[in-house]
Chains A and B, each alone.
Chain A
């Protein structure tokens, strides 16, 4: 019987289905990989991949099929075909964070999170487009051009992990690994109708993740289901001698947690998320419907307000631009990255290499961060934001002393049109783009875990996301409630 490659998108929306069929012998890893490669070819116009590893993926699949046939042991992710956001180091493969700054760069080592997936026999099918250095909410700052949303190719996929979200949405791989600094996994997941998980800060090693803002950055999976995100988290999480901020707490069986019936929970929801006129009406209605369904299922769901809601984004942008200006100083045209052809002395070499290599949003954020850290303004901006960050964390801690989860829409609007908020025209206001992250940044500001799951669609058919945030290291109960809501 001829293998219909559309099965990879139309049917395999959870890894347990893939594994069951692999065990039953009704499909092979090679057929899966060929199916995804065919889908990738069909969907070139979505601009998801910056590089496809077709031959390598086929070889790994053949090797897995051989081991399967010979009854040799295989890893827990055998048959899982994944993509990597172009910010994760994968030895011997290109890596350039959606930037011309790193044209031709080849990774010399493998990120800890990626290595753990490879060790469990995941197949990496390629690296995926993203906003330049993960700075953006629409994937339009990428030097490779924007990714297009498969639900409507005239619309953005969200960002910065836009390629990762569309890859899962369009069935170009089963899951993808992104990074989330202010919503970069959850916001595109919401725009594309898939599931995205940002773990607790420090749950997954950042070794091998290109740094944007180190006290915010998290590696996070995107997949169709909370269960698949839980499995990927379980494998990537845990201690690592190369990251001094990673947690040594034991890694729980997150994937098993999604199969347990959850006890009645105390859930807070952001009043603004269902009442504010700034939130799209169909998103407010969808959120309200989920709240009603959760109550009907026996959970306690109560409205709350955050007094510091308006301070979240300014705090986030002061601190992340400051950290970015420091982190991106490493791109100096000396050890790696773009070097200008014009410089005659060292200072000029730095300046011209950086100015030529970075795109406009990255340069804007470096300038903002440099300003916030400059001697005359350090206390007024940087220290002030660090103080407000503590107040936000204290308010969040008080909230989570009373509730298990905080629920809200993931985004205030569905996917917007390409070019609508680029900030590239002199009249554009970059703030319009920044506001897309209003509900997602809190989790990064306080370091808590959060997940975005699909929550229906707008009348135009655009996906809507629902976000749940939990206490630090409560990922097991977070993925369990997310799976329960998915199954409601």
Chain B
């Protein structure tokens, strides 16, 4: 088994997700099933093969770095759960 309870909780923390104890069994089952299936790739010889990072032939199509007002502040804040006139707001992080 690739993923045990401890690994699952560690991954969940890295992903900023919570896994409740009653979900653990189903998730361990499905994650390990998928990971075992993914390991078919180990049968492919990739010795010396360069990883393919970019699929587009036109990489980094750049434009001029000109100043423009693409998203005004009020609009940028419009979908925030909590904000004031200027900033996004979150619960206090320091005492």
Which of B11, B18, B42, B53: most chain A CB closer than 10 A?
B11
CB distance from A259 to the nearest CB of B (A): 29
CB distance from A93 to the nearest CB of B (A): 13
List 19 extra interface pairs beyond A243-B61, A368-B35, A388-B44, CB under 8 A. A108-B75, A109-B71, A244-B59, A247-B61, A311-B41, A317-B34, A329-B16, A351-B17, A358-B17, A363-B17, A371-B2, A371-B7, A374-B11, A385-B38, A386-B53, A387-B51, A390-B51, A390-B52, A430-B34
CB distance from B91 to the nearest CB of A (A): 6
CA gap between A430 and B27 in the complex, in Å: 11
CA gap between A339 and B90 in the complex, in Å: 10
Spell out A's residues near B (CB within 8 Å): 104-106, 108-109, 201-202, 215-216, 239, 241, 243-249, 308, 310-311, 314-315, 317-318, 325, 329, 332-339, 343-347, 349-352, 354-355, 358, 363-364, 366-368, 370-371, 374, 381, 383-391, 393, 423, 426, 429-431, 446-447, 472
CA gap between A355 and B75 in the complex, in Å: 26
**B58 touches which one: A246, A314, A370 (CB < 8 A)?**
A246
CB distance from B75 to the nearest CB of A (A): 5
Interfacial chain A residues near B61, Cβ < 8 Å: 239, 243-248
A108 touches B18 (CB 8 A): no
Given A246-B58, A325-B15, A345-B91, answer yes or no on A335-B80 (Cβ-Cβ < 8 Å).
yes
Q: What 1/0 flags go to B1-40 for Cβ under 8 Å of A?
A: 0110001100110111110000001110111011101111
Spell out B's residues near A (CB within 8 Å): 2-3, 7-8, 11-12, 14-18, 25-27, 29-31, 33-35, 37-42, 44, 46, 49-63, 70-71, 75-76, 78-82, 88, 90-93
B91 touches A349 (CB 8 A): yes
CA gap between A205 and B22 in the complex, in Å: 42
Interfacial chain B residues near A431, Cβ < 8 Å: 33-34, 37
Interfacial chain B residues near A106, Cβ < 8 Å: 78-79
Interfacial chain B residues near A244, Cβ < 8 Å: 59-62
**B26 touches which one: A337, A346, A426 (CB < 8 A)?**
A426
B40 touches A245 (CB 8 A): no
Given A108-B78, A339-B81, A349-B90, answer yes or no on A310-B58 (Cβ-Cβ < 8 Å).
no
B29 touches A383 (CB 8 A): no
CA gap between A377 and B44 in the complex, in Å: 17
B79 touches A108 (CB 8 A): yes
Show 27 A/B contacts (Cβ-Cβ < 8 Å), sorted by A.
A108-B71, A109-B71, A244-B61, A248-B58, A315-B41, A335-B76, A335-B88, A336-B80, A337-B81, A338-B81, A349-B90, A351-B17, A354-B16, A354-B17, A355-B18, A358-B17, A363-B17, A368-B31, A370-B14, A371-B2, A371-B35, A381-B35, A385-B41, A387-B52, A388-B49, A431-B33, A446-B55
Interfacial chain B residues near A393, Cβ < 8 Å: 52
**B11 touches which one: A243, A352, A371, A385 (CB < 8 A)?**
A371
With both beta carbons as reference points, the residue of chain B lying nearest to A243 in the complex is identified as B61
Interfacial chain A residues near B60, Cβ < 8 Å: 244
Given A334-B88, A354-B16, A366-B15, answer yes or no on A423-B30 (Cβ-Cβ < 8 Å).
yes
Interfacial chain A residues near B3, Cβ < 8 Å: 371
**B46 touches which one: A318, A334, A384 (CB < 8 A)?**
A384
With both beta carbons as reference points, the residue of chain B lying nearest to A364 in the complex is identified as B30
With both beta carbons as reference points, the residue of chain B lying nearest to A379 in the complex is identified as B51
B37 touches A367 (CB 8 A): no
Interfacial chain A residues near B44, Cβ < 8 Å: 308, 311, 388, 391
CA gap between A311 and B57 in the complex, in Å: 23
CB distance from B22 to the nearest CB of A (A): 11
With both beta carbons as reference points, the residue of chain B lying nearest to A356 in the complex is identified as B18
A241 touches B41 (CB 8 A): no
CB distance from A132 to the nearest CB of B (A): 15
CA gap between A349 and B53 in the complex, in Å: 33
Which of B15, B29, B76: most chain A CB closer than 10 A?
B15
Interfacial chain A residues near B46, Cβ < 8 Å: 384, 387-388, 391
B42 touches A368 (CB 8 A): no
Which of B16, B46, B59: most chain A CB closer than 10 A?
B16
